[in-house]
Structure 1
Amino acid sequence: MSDVSTATGGVARVFALIRALAEVQAEGGRVTKLARSVGLTQATVHRLLAQLVAEGVVEQDERSKRYRLSLDFFALAAQAGNPGGLRSLCRPALLRLCGSLGDTIFLLARSGFDAVCLDRAEGPFPIRSFTGDVGGRIALGVGQGALAILAFLPEAEREEVIRFNLSRVREYGVYDEVYLRTEVERTRAQGYAGRNTGLLEGMAGVAVPVLDREGRAVAALSVGTLSDRLNAERLPTVVELLKREAAALTPRIHPFDATLRRPAQSLAAGELPASAARIVPGERGDGLG
């Protein structure tokens, strides 16, 4: 057998193994099961896995000994399929919404139990938000954008976040478990989060979730404005524009975009303004963003 055919066969085996790993990514794969899936001996699969681990594209859980595709693998896929990432993908939508509505538009992305402000398009009115500027973060459930993300997580994840964040959201004085769960259900029923929280007089906001292709909330588009600009007559128009932009983003979201896993790390240090520090409860703004 020639060197070329040997190399080709080796590549085919590696990609067969990668595809098998992708099918069991959630729970991870054992050598025995992976070997059956790709039709190779356990010794061969073990050797290939060791090489992939050494390259950093596969990782092994120390406790379960199961193998999964690593974050580095997803980062490589993201670079190939969506070079600009979520922030660049959403930037035109932010600019269109800001231009159409004349208000400040925020892009928030989920980061564990928090929401991170990835971007904002500044309107003419002075607006404060829980997340501050780009790079700021807030607990999921606090503020319209973070609430929209929380409400449209899968139920098990949503419950986990609520349990973890309950003590954090209580710091803001107007939140308790009943209030938070009521707001989550209201948001799910309406398809958007939007009401004047009363934390800063004269301010209001509304947000819609940005869903991936599986219907999971990965981000939110949020409007921050003066309360008299978000009255009952104008609110449906604002919500419709937000939903339209969010729906257009869904099929374009790359499932391997590393931003969806580590949004804060997608922001270059030089891009963060001095005002990007997190706003603590004693300095809180209007609950927007």
Structure 2
Amino acid sequence: MGTKQDQGKTDMVGKALRLLVLLGDQPDGTNASELSRLADLPFSTTYRLLGSLTRNGFVQLDPDSRRYRLGLRVFQLGQRVAHAHGFAGAALPVLQRVTETTHEATLLQVVDDDRVLTAQKVDGPQKYRITSDPGGHELLHSTSSGKVLVAFSEPAESKRLVAELDLAERCPNTITAREVFRQEIERIQQRGYATNDEENDPGMRAIAVPVLDSRGIAIASLATAVPAFRYSVDELTQFIPLLKEAAEELAVRLPLH
């Protein structure tokens, strides 16, 4: 049984990790006062932990704005995890081939704590690019990948997500009604793909298919994302055969199951 001193150290580690998670949700960074409020920690504790994290490279401080951001050390660790799970080495060539055909961004995404985590992405050659970079999170209910991952989760988990997800409004097109979301998930299960019609970001559309294991459960999603002025939702469906073929290859390549 650990001593009170050991427990205190563990608690401080937990608080530091909480700060890192919160900073991950602030791509433009934030100040110590706001981070203290978000973490529900005393300002002195937050400031002391930020100082330690900054010295060790996990957090970066802009001296002019006094805003904190995730540091290079976090990125380096994330890259190691990605390599360890085979995303970078195994998925990249497949995503590149999809993008060579579509000339649009291709994304490999997974569920991470009731959100969508972008594990790998290949940008298209066009000037207009999407902002979902590896390591970034999106909502499950407002993205094509998220909806596919909900639809093809374990049946019990899928029901839980449909019933409990916070259907926050991201855009005017976001599905926020529980019954409408339930019906959308049922349609996705029947047709095998999901779309996002400016539901997560204005001016962006996407289509996604699941990467399925041998039981038919999604281990990841594969999506093509485009600016709305280039494709309608109906036009996006032309990429379904290509995405499904790539998803089948990824199901064999990815060491996720």
TM above 0.5, one fold? Answer: yes
TM-score norm. by structure 1 comes to 0.53
In the alignment, does 2:129 pair up with 1:127? yes
Does the 8 A contact of 1:116 with 1:135 survive in 2?
yes
Q: How does 1:18-37 map to 2 (within 5 A)?
A: none
Identity across the alignment (%): 25
Aligned counterpart, 2:211: 210
In the alignment, does 2:104 pair up with 1:91? no
Q: What SS does the aligned partner of 2:110 have?
A: strand
Does the 8 A contact of 1:104 with 1:125 survive in 2?
no
Amino acid at match of 1:127: R
- What displacement does 1:118 show? 0.8
Which structure has more RCO (C-alpha within 8 Å, separation ≥ 6)?
1
Give the 3 Å change call, closer, same or farther, for CA 186–228 of structure 1 in structure 2: farther
Structure-1 separation of matches of 2:170 and 2:238: 30
Aligned counterpart, 2:228: 227
Amino acid at match of 1:126: Y
Aligned counterpart, 1:170: 168
Structure 2: give runs of 5+ residues left out of the alignment.
Answer: 1-82
Does the 8 A contact of 2:205 with 2:233 survive in 1?
no
In terms of Rg, which structure is larger?
1
Structure-2 separation of matches of 1:105 and 1:221: 7
Give the 3 Å change call, closer, same or farther, for CA 134–187 of structure 1 in structure 2: same
**What do the CA deviations read for 1:210-249 (whole angstroms, capped 9, x no partner)?**
1122211111111111234334774343111001100122
Amino acid at match of 2:133: D
- What displacement does 1:200 show? 4.7
Does the 8 A contact of 1:103 with 1:125 survive in 2?
no
- What displacement does 1:106 show? 1.1
Over aligned residues, Cα RMSD in angstroms? 2.6
Give the 3 Å change call, closer, same or farther, for CA 152–125 of structure 1 in structure 2: farther
- What displacement does 1:153 show? 0.9
Does the 8 A contact of 2:144 with 2:223 survive in 1?
yes
Q: What SS does the aligned partner of 2:142 have?
A: coil
Aligned counterpart, 1:141: 141
Does the 8 A contact of 1:125 with 1:225 survive in 2?
no
Amino acid at match of 2:101: S
**What do the CA deviations read for 1:41-73 (whole angstroms, capped 9, x no partner)?**
xxxxxxxxxxxxxxxxxxxxxxxxxxxxxxxxx
Structure 1: give runs of 5+ residues left out of the alignment.
Answer: 1-81, 257-289
Structure-2 separation of matches of 1:254 and 1:180: 31
Q: What SS does the aligned partner of 2:129 have?
A: coil
Give the 3 Å change call, closer, same or farther, for CA 120–232 of structure 1 in structure 2: closer
Q: How does 1:1-289 map to 2 (within 5 A)?
A: 85-123=86-124, 124-129=126-131, 132-165=132-165, 167=166, 169-172=167-170, 174=174, 175-197=176-198, 200-231=201-232, 234-256=235-257
- What displacement does 1:113 show? 1.4
Amino acid at match of 2:142: V
Q: What SS does the aligned partner of 1:215 have?
A: coil
Structure-2 separation of matches of 1:88 and 1:213: 22
Amino acid at match of 1:147: K
**What do the CA deviations read for 1:124-161 (whole angstroms, capped 9, x no partner)?**
142345xx321111232221111111111122111122
